[in-house]
């Protein structure tokens, strides 16, 4: 399972976590309680996205998706 280290960010009240894993950039949006949108991008293009009910589930979904991508 791929593991990444996230940095907590706050942009004018919009909270999210950001991370890099190799060539991929990962964002987990925490703006709405109970709705954690996540996005994996490569070179500015979205390659996978989804929604989870909490941050841990979003982290697990991102890790599973990263395992499917070439490094």
Task: For 41-51, write each residue's pLDDT tens digit.
Answer: 999 999 999 99
pLDDT above 90 for 35: yes
- Assign 2 a pLDDT band (cuts: 50, 70, 90): low
- Please give the Cα distance from 55 to 71 (Å, whole number): 24
pLDDT tens for residues 49-66? Answer: 999 999 899 999 999 999
Mean pLDDT of the chain: 90
List beta partners, residue 39: 27, 49
What is the pLDDT at residue 31?
85
Q: Structure pTM?
A: 0.85
């Amino acid at each position: 399972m791929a593991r990444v280290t996230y940095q907590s960010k706050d942009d004018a009240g919009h909270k999210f976590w950001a991370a890099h894993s190799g060539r991929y950039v990962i964002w987990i949006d925490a703006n709405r309680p109970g709705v954690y949108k996540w996005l994996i991008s490569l070179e500015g293009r979205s390659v996978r996205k989804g929604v989870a009910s909490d941050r841990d589930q979003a982290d697990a979904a991102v890790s599973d998706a990263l395992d499917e991508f070439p490094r």
